[in-house]
Amino acid sequence: MRDAVRRLWPELEWISDASLREATTRCWEIAFERSPLSPEDLEEIPFTLLVPDCPTSFMAHKRCVVHIARRAAEAMREQMGDALSIDLDTVVAGAILADVGKLLEYERIDGNARQSRRGSLLRHPFTGVALAMEAGVPDEVCHIIAAHAAEGDLVRRTTEALIVHHADFMAYLPFKNLAR
């Protein structure tokens, strides 16, 4: 499973801290051990169930969010580095893990992904944090998982969490418009 996770996420190599890279990889491994979904499924299922006939796969969307978040963080560091401290490893790990809980939120019936009973009770920000804490992911990154979606609107997000939150919504809201 470790090799499959590395194939899904070449961006794991962007995490320079070895222990954070290990915990982030381990978290995805644990998620697949508990999930009805396989790594191959993630290349096929839509990234959201909120857009009918969504044309983009889970992995295409999630990797796009990681790339946006990293470039945004780099630009902010270049332009405002003296005024704002941004930890790139935290941004990348948080973006890679933001939706890991969806592996426990979805089930696959007749080839189609849908929200499970557990998923309706515990959306992926909650299950994602549970998986990440079990894998030894640090609190700064768990915070990004917890606060990346609408649930986080009640949370005072860190700078790194704000970057991942906006990257996620940049890559989501245009698809939501398609559904109108």
Tell the smallest beta-carbon distance from residue 80 to Fe ion (Å): 27
The Cα–Cα gap between 59 and 38 comes to: 12
Tell the smallest beta-carbon distance from residue 98 to Fe ion (Å): 5
Closer to Fe ion by Cβ: residue 60 or 77: 60
Tell the smallest beta-carbon distance from residue 149 to Fe ion (Å): 5
The CA angle 66-48-128, to the nearest 5 degrees, is 60
Positions in the binding site for Fe ion (CB under 5 A): 99, 149
Tell the smallest beta-carbon distance from residue 168 to Fe ion (Å): 6
Closer to Fe ion by Cβ: residue 15 or 145: 145
CB burial of 4-21 (b: ≥16 within 10 Å; e: otherwise) equals: ebeebbebbebbeeeebb
Residue 14's identity, in one-letter code, is: W
Residue 175's identity, in one-letter code, is: F
Closer to Fe ion by Cβ: residue 82 or 153: 153
Closer to Fe ion by Cβ: residue 69 or 149: 149
